[in-house]
């Protein structure tokens, strides 16, 4: 059985880029949706609904492991370094980390299924 090498081929690069941009878009959509719902409650003082709290949690999870800690604990230097359009750099790097993790997990699952003797139809 030939050893599989871990080269980044064109399909893998495309998959990682598509996952990263999809993750970034989903992260920003959820964050902005959560922010908008919070601002809508701002004047009335109503407590957050269960759906709004769930949206907050999912948005926060997707912004880890890089963007959320950098925004929370980075201090004033993060605002000066990542001002303007450079603010998207940590978001995209965070999404690239997620994309690599998803591709890695996918490969592990496929390898595990192949080791168990499962063959995909086709």
Give the mean model confidence (pLDDT) for residues 93-114: 89
pLDDT band at 65 (very low <50, low <70, confident <90, very high): confident
Confidence at residue 24, expressed as pLDDT on a 0 to 100 scale: 93
Long-range Cβ contact pairs of 4-12 (< 8 A, separation 24 or more): 12/103
Alpha carbon of residue 62 to chain centroid: 4
Confidence at residue 1, expressed as pLDDT on a 0 to 100 scale: 43
User: CA 103 to CA 69: how far, in whole Å?
Assistant: 23
* Whether residue 79 has pLDDT greater than 80: no
Confidence at residue 122, expressed as pLDDT on a 0 to 100 scale: 54
For the CA atoms of 21, 27, 30, 35, the dihedral, rounded to the nearest 10 degrees, stands at -120
Using CB atoms within 10 A of its CB, is residue 39 exposed (0-12), middle (13-18) or buried (19+)?
exposed
């Amino acid at each position: 059985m030939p050893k599989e090498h871990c080269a980044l081929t064109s399909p893998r690069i495309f998959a990682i880029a598509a996952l990263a941009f999809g993750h970034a878009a989903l992260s920003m959509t959820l964050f902005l949706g959560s922010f908008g719902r919070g601002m809508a409650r701002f004047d009335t003082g109503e407590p957050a609904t269960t759906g709004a709290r769930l949206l907050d949690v999912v948005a926060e999870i997707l912004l880890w492991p890089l963007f959320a800690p950098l925004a929370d604990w980075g201090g004033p230097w993060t605002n000066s370094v990542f001002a303007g359009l450079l603010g998207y750099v940590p978001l995209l790097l965070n999404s690239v980390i997620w994309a690599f993790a998803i591709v890695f997990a996918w490969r592990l699952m496929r390898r595990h299924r192949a080791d168990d003797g499962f063959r995909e139809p086709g």
